Homo-oligomer: A and B are copies of this chain.
Amino acid sequence: MRPILFIIFDGLGDRLIPQLGNKTPLEAAAKPNLDRLAEIGITGLIHTIKRGIRPGSDVAHLSLLGYDPKHNYMGRGPFEAAGYGLDLEAGDIALRGNLGTVNSENIVIDRRAGRIDSSAPFAKLLNGLVIDGVTVITQAGLNHRIAIALRGERLSPHISDVDPHLADHPLLLAAPLDASKEAAFTASVVNKLVAKAHSLFESHSLNKERRSKNLPVANVLLLRGAGEMKDIKPFHEVYTLKAACVAGGGLYKGIARVLGMDVYEVSGATGKANTDAVGKVNKALELLQKYDFVFLHFKATDSLAEDGKPLEKRDYIEKVDKALAPLVPLAQKREMIVSVTGDHTTASDLKVHTADEVPILISGYGVRTDYVNSFGERPCQEGGLGHMEGRNLIDYLLNLRGELALYGN
């Protein structure tokens, strides 16, 4: 069977930017490989959730991967925790967090504890703690990042953040967000955990060392984004595709893990504009030898637009396009199926996600082709796919392989 390479450029779509001659960054980019894939493939516009919905990256990815976020969205915590490598079970309450610095009056003076090298020694101190019958499981992320899962009975994800989200603000107490006993209990467990962490961290030898070097100490656990891990049917069971993921950003690795995909690390995959695009593409091509489906994610298109940098977004697209060169002959020989789209538009003039349609191209095995020969927001308006919704994409790709279940007889 022909394998599927499923490429997402985060926040790919954009608006007409005066500095780019009233083109979008994608339209303005020199991207011969994407253009060629469009030319020999079929194109269109995608509403990743549906028309008129302005999506976050998490729900948009769920939808594009064929999972209705209405039933499968669980808040940010579980995806981030899974992205750090924490093995979640259905019912776990997961939170993402930072190690931060508070002063003696509980004012957060540094939300990242001076971007401390590793949170692992601190995560270890908390791992396995039992608070009121609830087990705490921890997983260190990069630098100051840390994820927490609470495992036990009578828990609820409906609690507020401990993290004030701004420096020079007081540390908050988690509060229940609804009237249930479960939310009140969970908030109390989180508050006890944060207090316990504070006393354990304060006396840690690494902090003594940091104090002596005049570095901000890591003495507080800033938790946020509580969500409940759901019982999600794995991707390979729903779609009978053995799937792997290559991504830099933690969220995307987390979504892939939650869906049961095998996540591969590529050194140099930073989730930033400096990422090793060639390394990621090569890794994806290697994985296509043994997987039916490889989800390859590029993040910086989104971050650069959120920073208001359309020219850098264009340049990043050009950089990734170069790395995609090996795909063209494979698509041409119809040895694989390649799908390229974004999870939403990030308008680099507004610096936010918007609900504007996202261009999509599908190239390779089984594709009908259309008359569009350039990959961009406006060329794709004339594409053969028309306007489609994100939730239909995986079935479209399965159909190209001839693998959709038959309806009727």
Residues in chain A within 8 A of chain B (CB atoms)? 15-16, 24, 45, 49, 51-60, 69, 73, 75-76, 225, 347, 350, 352-356, 366-371, 377-378, 381-384, 386-389, 392, 395-396, 399, 402, 404-409
**Among B76, B371, B388, B409, which residue has its beta carbon within 8 angstroms of that of A51?**
B388
List 26 contacting pairs A-B, 8 Å CB cutoff, sorted by A.
A15-B366, A15-B368, A16-B368, A51-B395, A52-B395, A52-B399, A52-B404, A55-B406, A55-B408, A56-B409, A58-B408, A59-B408, A69-B407, A75-B409, A347-B402, A352-B402, A353-B406, A354-B399, A355-B396, A355-B399, A356-B399, A370-B378, A370-B381, A381-B383, A381-B384, A386-B386
Shortest CB-to-CB span from A143 to chain B, Å, is: 21
- Given A369-B16, A369-B378, A387-B387, is A407 in contact with B56 using a C-beta cutoff of 8 Å? yes
Hey, which chain B residues are within 8 Å of A59, CB to CB? 407-409
Hey, which chain B residues are within 8 Å of A60, CB to CB? 408
Hey, which chain B residues are within 8 Å of A378, CB to CB? 368-371, 384
- Secondary structure class of chain A's binding surface, majority of residues: loop
Shortest CB-to-CB span from A71 to chain B, Å, is: 13
Q: How far is the CA of A386 from the CA of B378 in the complex (A)?
A: 12
**Among B55, B384, B392, B402, which residue has its beta carbon within 8 angstroms of that of A354?**
B402
Q: How far is the CA of A53 from the CA of B378 in the complex (A)?
A: 28
Shortest CB-to-CB span from A333 to chain B, Å, is: 12
Q: How far is the CA of A338 from the CA of B240 in the complex (A)?
A: 41
**Is there contact, CB below 8 Å, between A57 and B386?**
no
Q: Which residue of B lies closest to A393 (CB)?
A: B52
User: 5 tightest CB-CB pairs across the interface, nearest first?
Assistant: A56-B408, A59-B408, A52-B395, A381-B384, A54-B404
